[in-house]
Structure 1
Amino acid sequence: MKNYVVVFLMLFAVVGAQAQNDSIKKNNFGKNELKLNAVFLLFGSFEPSYEYNLTEQSSIGVSAFLPFDETNFEMDINYYISPYYRIFFGRKYAAGFFLEGFGMLNSIEQKLYITSTEGNYNYRDEDVTDFALGFGVGGKWVTTGGFVFEVNGGIGRNFFNTNSSEYYDYSPIVGKFGFNLGYRF
């Protein structure tokens, strides 16, 4: 019986030592990240992001979208501000595959139906502000020097102007995607 106890304790010690080698690798950098969406720059808009790593498997952040070139960017988005929370499934510190939950305060230029007394329809541009909740997926890679590359995409739903029939071609669905480049410090 004593042999079984000794063998069990040795097996437990070997498994425990192996588990220590499989832990998440932590880098020597800080918990802050600044990123910029590289694809949106090509289309005339600016989307910076700030992210704070809470633990080795979760982070919070915020991104803001601002178009600066209306000729290249043909969407009618005025701006959005999107806070998010991420859960990571990788072996590195706050990196690898992740799931994201986000909120989005957005403003979109929409055409408003105007009915004249003769029964004709005209349109007038109007800014519509709404709030959406959504989810996304992505992947993040961090080099040993602190350089960050990230690919993500998500979809959400606006809540406040979804049943309004006075707007022409208004969609309650919002999306976000990015090829972000940045630095962890």
Structure 2
Amino acid sequence: MKKILLLPCLFLTLTVFAQNNSNSTPKKHELKLNVGYTLAELPEITYEYILSDESAIGTSVTFGFNEDDLKFALTPYYRFYFGQKKAAGFFAEAFSMLNVVEDEIYYLGASKVTNTETGLALGIAIGGKWITNNNWLFELYFGVGRNIINNESIDGVPRAGLTLGKRF
């Protein structure tokens, strides 16, 4: 009789321990896709690392495949969250952006010259992040920055997003 009871008790103990162990690991990583930019043929992928309940750091990489001026942007940022959930709710963001812009200049003789410039911008943004119980997330944010290096071709840089992602 003891052997019969010992096996279910052992199984139950291992199951409870396994469930407790998997839930105790905090989810601190997020991977997101900016759907708004992707529809505009400027795909942007973002990785965010959660530092605490109220703050996170991250970086976004944007590639320009169309005829627009922007060809590449690397945007590291710091966010401070004001929501009730961990790293969710309303947030304020400070960012920098390394951007590569390509201009096409046409001369009188109809010759075209392509000019590529690299700039560095600093800026701020505000937005909101909503997260489900299954760690799927949605973000909406907007902001503006200003090029402080090589601002001849473009002075202001936008920061906007309609992103979908997953916390893991």
Partner residue in 1 for 2:20: none
Normalising by the residue count of structure 2, what TM-score does the alignment of the two structures yield? 0.78
- The aligned counterpart of 2:132 is 143
State the match for 1:171 in structure 2: 154
Q: Deviations over 1:153-176 (max 9, x none)?
A: 1100111223x4xxxxx2310011
After superposition, residues 1-185 of structure 1 pair within 5 angstroms as 29-68=26-65, 70=66, 74-111=67-104, 124-162=113-151, 164=152, 170-185=153-168
- Opposite residue 182 of structure 1, the aligned amino acid is G
SS in 2 for 1:55: coil
Q: How many residues align?
A: 145
- Residues 120 and 150, structure 2, Cα contact 8 Å, conserved in 1: no
Cα distance, 1:58 vs structure 2: 0.3
Alpha-carbon shift at residue 29 of structure 1 (Å): 4.7
Give the Cα separation in 1 of the matches to 2:41 and 2:134: 29
Unmatched segments (≥5 aa) in structure 1: 1-26, 165-169
Counterpart amino acid of residue 87 in structure 2: A
Indicate the SS of the match to 1:78. strand
Alpha-carbon distance in structure 1 between the residues aligned to 2:47 and 2:33: 9
Percent identity of paired positions between Structure 1 and Structure 2: 41
- In 2: Cα distance, 1:103 partner to 1:50 partner: 15
CA distance in 1, matches of 2:64, 2:52: 33
Cα drift, residue 62 of structure 1? 0.2
Where do 5+ consecutive residues of structure 2 fail to align? 1-23
Partner amino acid, structure 2, of 1:51: E
